[in-house]
Amino acid sequence: MDFFTAQDNARRKTGRLVVLMVLAVLALIVVTTLAIAIALHLMGEQSATQTNLPTPGLWSALSIELVIGVAIAVLAVVVLGGLFKRSQLKRGGRVVAEALGGREINLNTRDADERRILNVVEEMAIASGTPVPSVYVLEEESINAFAAGYQTNDAVIGITRGTIRHLTRDELQGVVAHEFSHILHGDMRLNMRLISILHGILIIGLLGGTLLRSMRFRRVGGGKRDNSGAVVLALGAVLMLIGYAGTFFGNLIKSAVSRQREYLADASAVQFTRNPQGIGNALVKIGSHSQGSYLQATQAAEFSHLFFGQGVRLGFSQMMATHPPIKDRIKRVMPDWDGRFDATLPTQQAESDAPEPEYDDVRPGTEPGAMAAVLTGVSAQTAINTMGQPDQRHLAQARATLDALPERIKTAAHEPYAARALVYSLLLSQDKTMRKQQLKALQQVALPDVYRALMEYGPEMLRLDVQLRLPLIDLVLPALRSLSMEQAQHFRLCMERLIEADGQVTLFEWTLYQLLLSNLGQHGSGPANLKLNDLQRECQLLLTVLATAGQDDSVEVGAALNAAERGLPFSLTATDDISDMRALSLAVERLRRLKPLHKPALLQAMARCIEHSGRILPAEAELFRAMADILDCPMPPLLSDEASATICDTVKP
C-alpha cells in the first residue's frame, strides 16, 4: 500500500470509527433509559404502597419524553467529554508521553542508552523524510514503545527504559521503524482521535464514581420519607455500570481499529530495515521478559492502542486485546521461528560495547561519504514511489548524511540557543557586504547568547554542503520545539529581520521560513477536501517557481513546464511574476488541502519539472523535497542512479 492510499484509508477508517461510536452511544442511551425507567418504577411502587394507589407498570415509566431527555443528556456528556479531552491533547504527542510519566530525553544527554535511541530515531526520520520527533523515556522495565501526535510536527516517540536497555541496535531499529510506520500511514492521528472520542464514553462511568464518593459526606437516610440518599447511591451505581458498558464498547472499538494496523506496521518495519530479525527478535524478547510489554502507568489503559506491544493485562477475553497475539506477529515476520521464547536479554555493558552495524548490501552511491552522487529523473520518481515505504538504502543514505555533518554542528543542533544560531546562519548571504548588513540588523534584536553562537558557527556553516542543509533543519527541530511561545515568536521575528535585511525575499529564504513554520506547527490547517482541478492557478505558480529555480533560459523554463503538465488535468503557462512570495505562500497553503489521492499527480508534475534536463542539481533536489514537506508529503532522500534504478525494479508507482 502506497503512502497516499494509506493516508486515504486512514481518513476512511475515521468514518467507520464514527459509525462504531454511534452504535456505542445508542447502546449507552438504551442502557441508561432502562436504568432510569427501572428506578422510576421502583420509586412509583414505593409511593403507591404509601398512598394505597395502584402500582404503575414498568412500561408506564418509559415514554418518548424520557427517551429524548436521556438521549440529549448522554449525547451532551459524550460530546463535552470528548471535546474536553481533545482540548487537553491539542499540544500533540507530548501530552500523552507526560501523562504516562515520560521524561523528554535531553538532546545532549551523556547516557549511552539514551544517545543510542536518539541516534536511531534521527536516522529513521531523515531516511523517511519526516521531521525528527522528540523522544521520551518511560522509567519502566517492560519492553514497549509508542508514537503519538496529530501531525509529523507534533509527533513524539515514547520508549521504556527496558526497551533501550535490553534491545540491540538492530532490534531498536525494528521497533522505531514500526512506530514510524504508524506516523507515515496516518494511524497515529487516528489513534489520537480515538482517545478523545472514547473519553466521552468513559466519562459517564467517571460521573458515577464521583456520585458514589459524594455519599461519604451525607447520610443515606435522614428520615423515613427521605430517600434522596438511596436515589443518589442507586444513580451512582447505575452510572458506574453504564461506565463499564462504555469501557466494553471502547475496548471493542480499539481492537477493531488497531489489530490489523499492527500487522501492517510490522511488515513496514521489515521493509524499512530489510532485517526481519530486528523486529522479530524484539517481539521474542517481549515474550521472554518477566515484565513483558505491560506498563505500570495509571493511564496505560487509556492509551493502550498506541503501544508497540500489549500495554495492559487482559481480563477474561482476548476480544479486548488491542494487539494481535505476539506469537502470530513473530511468525509473520520470521516464519522459521521455532516458537520458543528463549532470547537472551543483553546487559547494559555488553550492549554499549557492541560494534556499530555494517551495511553490506548498501548500493553504490549511498555508502558513507557519497554525498556528491549523481541524481537524475529516476531519483525523483523513486523518492515519490517510496514515500511511506523507505527501505535500507534510505537508511544507509541517512547514516551517510549524519556522518557527513561536522560533529560540532550536530552537537550544536541539539542545544536550543545554538540551534537558533544555525538557522540564522543558513539565512546569511554569501555576499560579504550583504552579510554584514544582515548581521547588523540581527544584532539589534537577537539574544546575546544566540548571536555569539552565530558568530562561532557562522563561518563553518557558510561552507556547508547544500545537500546537508535540509537534514540539518530536521536535526534542529526537536530543540526548537522546546522553545516557549514567547521564545518561538522572538525566533520568528529574528528570521524575518534577516530575510528582509536586503529588501527582497529569495526562494531559498522563503522555503526555509515556510519549512520551519510548517514543522513548528505555526501554519494554519484546514480539511483536505480540495481536488486538483480546483487549484489550477496555485499549481501553475508553484511549478513555474520550480522551473525557474533550475534554469534562467525562458525556452528551458517552457520545456520544464511542458514536461510537468503531462498527467495534469490542465495545461500550464509560465506565470509572469514569480517574485511575489506572499502569493506563493497563499498558493501552497491551499495546495496543502489537496485530497491525499490527488497529491501524487502534483508530486509527479514537480518531479518531471526538475528532471526534464536529465540531471537534478542539488539545489533543485533540496527545493523539491522541501516543497513536498511543506505540502505534508514526507519525501525520503533522493538516491543516486544505481540505487534508484534498483528500487524502481521492485517498487511500482
Residue 416 has pLDDT above 80, yes or no: yes
Residue 55 has pLDDT above 70, yes or no: no
How far is 293 from 142, CA to CA, in rounded Å?
5
How far is 414 from 478, CA to CA, in rounded Å?
8
- In the residue annotation, 98 being an active-site residue is answered as no
Residue 637 has pLDDT above 70, yes or no: yes
Residue 362 has pLDDT above 50, yes or no: no
Domain spans, the chain: 3-90+192-246, 94-190+266-350, 370-418+466-489+500-653
Where helices occur in 215-309 by DSSP H, the ranges are: 228-273, 276-288
Residue 504 has pLDDT above 90, yes or no: no
How far is 198 from 247, CA to CA, in rounded Å?
8
How far is 233 from 371, CA to CA, in rounded Å?
71
Quick one: fold of 94-190+266-350? Zincin-like (3.30.2010)
Strands (E), 348-393: none
- C-alpha cell at position 159: 520508549
Query: pLDDT band at 618, cuts 50/70/90?
Result: confident
| Mean pLDDT of the region 248-263 | 76
Query: pLDDT band at 495, cuts 50/70/90?
Result: very high
Q: Map residue 145 onto helix, strand or coil.
A: strand
Q: Map residue 594 onto helix, strand or coil.
A: strand
Q: What is the pLDDT of residue 174?
A: 94
Cβ-based burial of 361 (10 A; exposed 0-12, middle 13-18, buried ≥19) = exposed
Helix (H) / strand (E) element for 146: namely strand 145-148
Higher-confidence residue of 218 and 629: namely 629
How far is 114 from 135, CA to CA, in rounded Å?
9
* Residue 223 CB contacts under 8 Å (≥ 6 apart), including other chains: none
Length of the chain equals 653
| Mean pLDDT of the region 252-267 | 80
| Sheet strands side by side (includes 134-138) | 103-104, 134-138, 156-160, 145-148
* Residue 27 CB contacts under 8 Å (≥ 6 apart), including other chains: 245, 249
| Mean pLDDT of the region 189-205 | 80
- Residue linked to cell 462504531: 20
CA dihedral 609→612→617→621, nearest 10 degrees, is: 40
Catalytic residue among 179, 302, 565, 620: 179
Residues 271/53, Cβ–Cβ less than 8 Å: no
DSSP 354: S
Query: pLDDT band at 467, cuts 50/70/90?
Result: confident
* Residue 193 CB contacts under 8 Å (≥ 6 apart), including other chains: 14, 17
Query: pLDDT band at 418, cuts 50/70/90?
Result: very high
Query: pLDDT band at 197, cuts 50/70/90?
Result: confident
Q: Mean pLDDT check: name the lowest of 96-110, 225-239, 357-371.
A: 357-371
Beta bridge partner(s), residue 323: none
Q: Mean pLDDT check: name the lowest of 246-255, 369-378, 434-443, 464-473.
A: 369-378
How far is 383 from 367, CA to CA, in rounded Å?
18
Determine the residue type at 472.
L
| Mean pLDDT of the region 553-568 | 87
Determine the residue type at 543.
L
* Residue 200 CB contacts under 8 Å (≥ 6 apart), including other chains: 77, 78, 79, 80, 81, 82, 85
Query: pLDDT band at 56, cuts 50/70/90?
Result: low
Q: Mean pLDDT check: name the lowest of 30-39, 125-134, 159-168, 287-296.
A: 30-39
Q: What is the pLDDT of residue 88?
A: 87
- C-alpha cell at position 117: 535511541
Q: What is the pLDDT of residue 374?
A: 59
Q: What is the pLDDT of residue 74?
A: 81
- Residue linked to cell 470528548: 82
Range among 69-83, 416-430, 547-561 with highest mean pLDDT value: 416-430
Query: pLDDT band at 3, cuts 50/70/90?
Result: low
Residue 47 has pLDDT above 70, yes or no: no
| Mean pLDDT of the region 93-105 | 94
Q: CA 14, 653, 569: angle at the middle one, nearest 5? A: 80
Determine the residue type at 527.
P
Q: What is the pLDDT of residue 340?
A: 84
CA dihedral 618→133→386→551, nearest 10 degrees, is: -20
First-last CA distance in the chain: 10
Helix (H) / strand (E) element for 184: namely helix 169-184
Query: pLDDT band at 193, cuts 50/70/90?
Result: confident
CB atoms under 10 Å from CB of 50, counted, come to 10
Higher-confidence residue of 646 and 299: namely 299
CB atoms under 10 Å from CB of 601, counted, come to 16
Query: pLDDT band at 466, cuts 50/70/90?
Result: confident
- C-alpha cell at position 316: 477474561
Helix axes 469-481, 112-128, angle to 10 degrees: 130
CA dihedral 506→507→512→516, nearest 10 degrees, is: 110
Q: Map residue 494 onto helix, strand or coil.
A: helix
Q: Dihedral sign, CA of 247, 250, 255, 261?
A: negative
- C-alpha cell at position 136: 521520551
- C-alpha cell at position 355: 560494534
Residue 369 has pLDDT above 50, yes or no: no
Higher-confidence residue of 645 and 102: namely 102
Determine the residue type at 108.
N
* Residue 633 CB contacts under 8 Å (≥ 6 apart), including other chains: 3, 387, 599, 603
Query: pLDDT band at 191, cuts 50/70/90?
Result: confident
| Mean pLDDT of the region 268-274 | 87
Cβ-based burial of 14 (10 A; exposed 0-12, middle 13-18, buried ≥19) = middle
Mean pLDDT of the chain: 80
Residues 299/99, Cβ–Cβ less than 8 Å: yes
Query: pLDDT band at 571, cuts 50/70/90?
Result: confident
Q: What is the pLDDT of residue 57?
A: 54
| Mean pLDDT of the region 289-312 | 88
Residues 273/357, Cβ–Cβ less than 8 Å: no
| Mean pLDDT of the region 360-389 | 59
- C-alpha cell at position 641: 542512479
Q: What is the pLDDT of residue 248?
A: 73
Q: What is the pLDDT of residue 404?
A: 92
Query: pLDDT band at 160, cuts 50/70/90?
Result: very high
DSSP 634: -
Q: Report which of 309, 315, 282 is spatially closest to residue 295, judged by C-alpha positions.
A: 309
Residue 349 has pLDDT above 60, yes or no: no
Q: What is the pLDDT of residue 373?
A: 52
Task: State the pTM of this model.
Answer: 0.81
| Mean pLDDT of the region 29-35 | 78
How far is 278 from 163, CA to CA, in rounded Å?
13
**CA separation (Å) from 463 to 409, 429, 442, 509, 512?**
12, 12, 21, 17, 18
Q: Dihedral sign, CA of 305, 309, 315, 317?
A: positive
Residues 272/390, Cβ–Cβ less than 8 Å: yes
How far is 284 from 164, CA to CA, in rounded Å?
15
**CA separation (Å) from 374 to 152, 512, 564, 624?**
30, 24, 21, 16
Q: What is the pLDDT of residue 508?
A: 86
How far is 449 from 490, CA to CA, in rounded Å?
14
- Residue linked to cell 482517545: 195
Query: pLDDT band at 44, cuts 50/70/90?
Result: low
- C-alpha cell at position 255: 481492537
Query: pLDDT band at 98, cuts 50/70/90?
Result: very high
Q: Dihedral sign, CA of 257, 259, 260, 266?
A: positive
